[in-house]
Structure formats: C-alpha cells, structure tokens
Structure 1
Amino acid sequence: MSLLKRIPLFVLRLLALGATVSATAIMITSRDTADVLSMKFEAKFSNSPTFKYFVIVNAIASGYTLILLFFPAKSSCGHFILVLDLIIALLLDSSISACLAIGQVGKKGNSHAGWLPICGQVPKFCDHITGALISGFVAAIIYFLILLYSLHNLMNLFTISQD
C-alpha cells in the first residue's frame, strides 16, 4: 500500500486507539458510593459482568490497534488484518450494546421486573459510565470507517490487477 493510502488509515487507527484507551480508563475509574438506610453501598464497574466485558473488549482493541500502528507497510497479510478489523468492530459493537442495555436499566429501572433506577443514588458512577459508552461508541464508528477504507482499497486493488 502506498504512503498516501496509509496516512488516513494511520490517523484513523490513532483515533481509534485514543477512543478505546479512554473508554477503558473512564470505565475502570467509575466508582461512587451511596448511603441507603445508613448502609453504605459502592457502585463500581467490576460489579457487573457486562461492564467487565466492555473493559476487556476495549483493552483488546487498544492492544490490537497499538500493534498495528507499528506493523510494516509492505506486509502481505492485508486480508488477515481486514478480518481482524471486522472482528474487533463486531466485539466493540456487542460490548456497547450490552452496556447500553444495562445502563438503561440503571438509569430508568424496570417496573415490570421490580428493578429500581440507581443513577439517582450514584450519579458520579452513571456519568462515568455514560462517558465511557460515548468514547466506546466513537471507537466503534472509527473502526467502521477503517473497515470501509480498507474494503475500498481492497476493491481498488482487485480492479487494478484485472486490467
């Protein structure tokens, strides 16, 4: 791939790295305490398997993106990288979807199941979760753009070689 075609991909990967690292850091630092009937409760990301999944997926995406930033330009495994990009994008989407569902229950509750909203008692925790989800959503969008750009380059490569 020529240098001019690699620059936008490098910038997109750099942006994706920033978004996934910040999503991970924000989620890990989400913590708040509440006093309910003179009992102290602590809300933190590690209380929910969904939030743990979000952190693990964003950490994997961060590591993968960091490795690809230093990957040689003249590599012959472009198709394999494209497949891995697709897997990372799908993992990011699934973790965000799961966290949005849990976040909605935390914010609004579920009267049918008898679950009360908790964001009134631990607003700092909910604000951190919201920030992490926004950053994760930005990372997912950037990975979608990376996929589109890579597929566009791959299609151009096939049309040039057929001429």
Structure 2
Amino acid sequence: MDSGRRDDSTVITMPESKSNGKGKAPAVAMATTKAAPGGWKKGVSIFDFILRLSAIGAALGATATMGTTDETLPFFTQFFQFQAEYDDFEVFLFFVVANGITSAYLVLSLPFAIVCIVRPHAVGPRLLLLIFDTVIMALTIGAAAAAASIVYLAHNGNPNANWLPICQQFGDFCQSTSAAVVSSFIAAFLLMFLVVLSGFALRRN
C-alpha cells in the first residue's frame, strides 16, 4: 500500500512539472501578439504626420496663390482701368480666410500627431484629431467648391444670365485662381484621408 501511494505521488508530480513548463509558452505568445498592434499603430501615426505636412503645404499654397492674385489689363485710359483682384469677389475672400484657418489648424495639430506617434494606443488625442479634422475638412471643401463655381463662371460665363467669360481678357488671373482651387481640393482630400485613417485606427482599439 505504501509503495503504491509513493508511485501514485510520483506519477502526479511529473505532469505538474510538465504543465508548469508548458504554461510559460502561452505567456510569451501573448506578449508577442500584444506588441504587434503597437508597431502597426505607430506606423499609422507616422503616416498621419506626413499627410498633415503635405496638407499644410497644399493649404498654404492655396492661400498664398489666391491672396496674391490680381491682374491689370495693359490697355486703360485716364479714367478707366481694367483690373481684377481676388478681393473683388466675396467668395474668393472667404476662400482665403478658410484656407488660412485650415493651414493654422494643421500646424497646431502637429503636436497632437507627435503624441500619437509616441503613444500609439492613446485614444484621447486621436479622437480629438478626428473631430477637428472632420470640421476643418468640411470648411475646406465648402470654400473650394464655392470658389470653383466662380472660376467656372469666369472661364465659361452664363449665357442665360448674360454673364460673359472674363478669362479671355484676364488669363493670368484665371490661371492663378484655378491653381488655388486645385490646391485647396488637394488639401481637402488629404484631410478626408486623415479622417478615414483616424477612424480606422480608433476602430482597431
């Protein structure tokens, strides 16, 4: 009876030592699986930072191009001078202000983007960027769309309203305004991509 009990105890202790050895392997596997999402989110945050720098360039380019647009025709008299400036159109003035706000916001958002790089799992900064990116994206798209309608009228006019196209006379003015609108749409597209990227990163949390 005693020898049988000793044999049973020996049989019981051996599986315990094996189970303890096997119990360490899942812990290592869990550690590696937890480390993987952090690296992925850090890569997303770095890409987000690069996109913000690109959007700053596009928004600043749109603001500067439209804000410096003016053209004076070479033929004028003592009393009449044919000149076109961006602030002659309220829509273009709104365009400059809106893209200026977009540029300032994108510059101010860079520290939050850096925080997301340092702390990829942080939800607060990412959620804050998502909300403000959406608002600024709507502002930029609205300004670009409104300016695009005026640029279209400048190129093609409106025969029903007897509005003649002016781009045949003010060619440089129309080229500058068109370039500014295209640059603003690029900034809006980058902001849209930033919103999608932030939403996807938050969903993965």
Instruction: Output the TM-score relative to the length of structure 2.
Output: 0.72
- What amino acid is the match of 2:81? K
Please state whether the residue corresponding to 2:200 is helix, strand or coil: helix
Match for residue 43 of structure 1 among 84, 94, 104: 84
Match of 2:48 in 1: 9
Deviations 1:101-134 (A, max 9, x none): 1111111111111111111111110010011011
Q: 2:139 aligns with which of 91, 94, 101?
A: 91
Q: C-alpha separation between the residues in 2 aligned to 1:49 and 1:65?
A: 24
Q: Does residue 1:69 correspond to 2:110, yes or no?
A: yes
Give the match for residue 120 of structure 1.
168
The answer to which structure has the higher strand fraction is 1
Work out which of the residue numbers 74, 94, 110 in structure 2 matches 1:53: 94
Match of 2:70 in 1: 31
The one of the two structures with greater contact order (alpha-carbon pairs below 8 A, sep at least 6) is: 1
Q: TM-score, with normalisation over the residues of structure 1?
A: 0.89
Unaligned runs of 5+ residues in structure 1 are: 158-163
Cα distance in 2, alignment partners of residues 114 and 136 from structure 1: 29
Query: C-alpha distance in 1, partners of 2:110/2:131?
Result: 17
Percent sequence identity is: 31
Matched position secondary structure for 2:159: coil
Cα distance in structure 2, aligned partners of 1:103 and 1:115: 13
- Once the two structures are superposed, residues 8-51 of structure 1 have per-residue CA deviations (whole angstroms, 9 ceiling, x without a partner) of 00000000000000000100111101267743121111111100
Structure 1 residue 85, shift from structure 2 partner? 0.4
Please name the residue that 2:195 is paired with.
Answer: 147
Question: Which residue, out of 18, 23, 26, partners 2:57?
Answer: 18
Which residue identity is paired with 1:58? N
C-alpha deviation, 1:77, in angstroms: 3.8
Matched to 1:114, the amino acid is N
Instruction: Give 1:4 deviation, angstroms.
Output: 2.3
Q: In structure 2, what residue type is equivalent to 1:29?
A: T
Q: CA–CA distance in 2 between the matches of 1:140 and 1:26?
A: 16
Task: Supply the RMSD in Å over aligned alpha carbons.
Answer: 1.7
Q: In 2, Cα distance between the equivalents of 1:5 and 1:81?
A: 14
